[in-house]
Amino acid sequence: MTQYDLTDDQRAIQEMAQRFTADAITPHAAEWDEKHIFPRDAIRAAAELGFGGIYVSEEAGGIGLGRLEAALIMEAMAYGCPSTSAFISIHNMGAWMIDRFGSQAVKDKYLPDLIPMARMASYCLTEAGAGSDAAALKTRAVRDGNHYVVTGSKQFISGGGENDVYVVMVRTGEDGPKGISCLVIEKDMAGVSFGAQERKLGWHSQPTAQVNFDGVRVPVANLVGGEGEGFRIAMMGLDGGRLNIGACSLGGAQRCIDETVQYTKDRRQFGVAVADFQNTQFTLADMQTELEAARTLLYAAAVKVTDNAPDKTRFAAMAKRFATDTGSSVVDRALQLHGGYGYLMDYPIERFWRDLRVHSILEGTNQVMRMIVARDMLRQ
């Protein structure tokens, strides 16, 4: 990537994702939202293009792309449905953690099913009492011979109750981040159970539930990384997850801009098209300008994460904060320009307004993103 443009290969990946979205996601997304349909078939069709292992290494069966290419894919799919795109992002985060830090045995056990999304993965960090303060998590894993015995619960888990594989942060040692390890736990292990599906403002096309562990015996071989490395692994996973969720905001907001341009050209008030009013033009110009600024920052951050740059975490946090705040602001103005029609489910704007709102909360709240950036600045 040059500073200002994508490579031919990156454009080809982007166009492939855009074509897939136009055919397999956009025509169905409103129904998925309204009827709370989890679109497994569409998700597995995305995996046929390699989107179940975007940055899983080619040696392990993935397509081995960088984080910019992943962001392009997520942005393209979110143009049709941010909820479905975000679900695929979370699965990719779990698969990447297994590939990057797991033993060969763990990779061989799980990746052949995860990459085609025959089985799907959830990322389990948040607890009822440990959200922004993730290092305070209480779910405990006690070593017992060749197994860990896991007890505790995880909250707000995408794929909870539906997915087959859970990449779980557990406490194996002392309080704080150094006592946290990472285990792969399967849905059908004895003692795994799930809460009721959460009733959410948005993200209706994906399941969300509490995941409970009641004395679950997990093989020690399912450890990802070493004991005490779980928090570092979780945070490295979040660098990429933050880029992807920011990209989902970019895609959803761009869709709303495009819808609004067409609507204001068609809608007439006081004898002229709404698009002819200077106020409308200025608002549209600001929306697109702000979104392009967020896109440029996010793409730059994605390159830094791929290159393992020293400031990658700071840039990922800045990009996530700016892209998700900007995305929500853009969609809110798009709804306003649609007037009363923007509030109706007959138009897609209200769905994007609902779906994008959670992006400033998950993968680390935007307040925590500011903390990450400021702490990095003050360390210098």
Catalytic residues: 363
Query: 1 Cβ partners below 8 Å, 6+ apart?
Result: 7, 10, 68, 299, 303
Q: Are 343 and 350 in contact (CB under 8 A)?
A: yes
Cα separation, 158 vs 40, whole angstroms: 14
Round to whole Å and give the CA distance between 217 and 227: 17
Identity of the amino acid at 22? A
Q: Are 250 and 322 in contact (CB under 8 A)?
A: no
Identity at 27, one-letter amino acid code: P
Rounded Cα gap, residues 361 and 196, in angstroms: 21
